[in-house]
Amino acid sequence: MMSKESLGKFLEYVAGSEQLQAKIGEEIDGNALIPLGAEHGCEFTVEDLQAASELSDPEFDGAVVGRSRR
C-alpha cells in the first residue's frame, strides 16, 4: 500500500534527522505526525501508524517515542 511505503520513507527520514527528532519530541500523537509527514512529501494514515506500532519495529519506536533522552 502506498501510504505504508510513505510512512516507511518518513521514518527513515526521521531516523536520519536530529532536527526532525527534536521536533517530534518524546510524545506526539498520530494526528500531529500525519501533517508533519505530509510536509516532507510522505502521506500516511493513522491506521498505518497503528499497524506500524503493532509490529514493534525498533525504527518506528525510536522515531515516534523520541531519541532526545540523554
Within a domain: residue 70?
no
pLDDT profile of the chain (70 residues), mean per 10: 83 90 77 88 89 64 50
Query: What's the domain range around 61?
Result: 2-65
Alpha helices by DSSP H, listed for 1-70, are 2-15, 18-24, 30-39, 46-54, 58-65
Put simply, whether the predicted model's pTM sits higher than 0.75 gets the answer no
- What pLDDT is attached to residue 67? 46
Within a domain: residue 28?
yes
- What pLDDT is attached to residue 58? 56
CA dihedral sign of residues 42, 46, 47, 48: positive
Within a domain: residue 29?
yes
Tally the domains of the chain: 1
To the nearest 10°, report the CA torsion of 27, 23, 35, 53. Answer: -40
Within a domain: residue 43?
yes
- What pLDDT is attached to residue 27? 66
* Phi-psi label, residue 45: left if phi above 0, alpha if psi -120 to 50, beta otherwise: beta
- Cell 500525519 found at: 34
Within a domain: residue 50?
yes
